[in-house]
Structure 1
């Protein structure tokens, strides 16, 4: 039974995977901390230094960018891969510009506004007014803090195009996306699925970018099937 390493997304903590941590409590688990470094390569190196020798790897959004870097530098250590609500593409110019605006807010002491600005884009349109889910998102952001947020954004903005190496991924891979994910839409998941030879794709209805929290039952079921594949 392979241990599982979960990598959260931008401004997210282990709370992002709370339902899955409960579901897979019979396995050794690790939730990676990606708040200390400002490059994807350094974050991946730090995770590999702490992770079990061989593991199943789950990454959502920013966690997916890091997971693909881990596959690039240490493929022999990854038994299976799950890429949730993420993309293999580098940032587009307009994405970088939006990131800089948010980083500027953080630098000017207005970080508390950031999760509120981000929230509508993180969830399915039907959850835009879900105050309980929004409270979870804000709490994770506050726990992360402005300095780590800026480091994370720098890392994301400088990430490489992972598409050329997707064909080298040989382990069983799940590519999962919320049908209502507007940040990394289903066509980007389809692009990864088509490029990764041993992959299966799942689209979760009624769900946005934070699939593990928005549709925990459906996501956990897909991960359970993936772990048994």
Structure 2
């Protein structure tokens, strides 16, 4: 019997820092009619390059690729290594720039605090307000999912992923001639919308989706508009930006 999904493209969904497939729960369920979805495990690797190579080792010859936050940097590394394998690219709540000195200092401070021991809280309630929109802070289902996901992955994964060196991805992305989309929450405090507008201009992406009343965790906070944007992107003609 013929597999009815065999003709669908592979869609690789790359998680962010301290994220796993739970981040993409609603995309996995809602986009399965237009793509065969795979969420790689990025947690064992110590560099962006190792993450990218691990994805390429297991991926199909060509694929659609979506990267969230840290996963966006992994997508950019894949574009450096094997641009010919990417059929289309989506970047969500991420950046194409190296960390600023201020952001690098923040990462060092967070690692120092996380390395002290005691109970690892992950993205706990104390810092949730910087990850999701203020209007969602009382959404117990959402906040519980985020806290449990980040606690499940734990301290060692956080220390490893928060220490990753990030490279500028502008040149690699400008060289791609595939359908692109950039998605960001209007109130993203981690990777602000202004940076995504600059990113879109820098790489020549004309499809920028800014989701109102949403913070950094767009796949979890706003699954319906994110899924709508990804569905449209997956159905755009191949070979055109």
TM over 0.5: yes
Q: Structure 2 residue aligned with 1:183, among 169, 184, 190?
A: 190
Residue 120, structure 1, aligned to residue 123, structure 2: no
Query: What does 1:206-225 align with in structure 2 at a 5 Å threshold?
Result: 206-225=213-232
CA-to-aligned-CA distance 1:30-72 (integer Å, 9 cap, x gap): 1011111111111101111111111100111011111111111
Equivalent position to 1:9, from 3, 10, 16: 16
Equivalent position to 1:50, from 48, 58, 64: 58
Shift of 1:196: 2.5
SS of 1:32 mapped into structure 2 = coil
* TM-score, length basis structure 1: 0.94
| Structure 1 stretch displaced more, 127-136 or 210-219 | 127-136
Aligned in 2, Cα 1:199/1:74: closer, same or farther, shift over 3 Å? farther
* More moved, 205-214 vs 128-137: 128-137
Q: How well do the aligned residues superpose, as a CA RMSD in angstroms?
A: 1.5
Q: C-alpha distance in 1, partners of 2:135/2:189?
A: 13
Tell me, yes or no, if structure 1 residue 60 matches structure 2 residue 68.
Answer: yes
Q: Which of the residues 126, 139, 154 maps onto 2:148?
A: 139
2:113 aligned with 1:105: yes
2:87 partner SS: strand
Q: Deviations over 1:75-132 (max 9, x none)?
A: 1111000000111111112212222222223322245234124421111122233332
Corresponding residue to 1:23 among 15, 23, 30: 30
Which is higher, the Rg of structure 1 or of structure 2?
2
Aligned length: 227
Runs of 4+ in 1 over 4 A off after TM superposition: none
More helix by share: 1
SS in 2 for 1:80: strand
Structure 2 unaligned regions, length at least 5: 1-7, 237-241
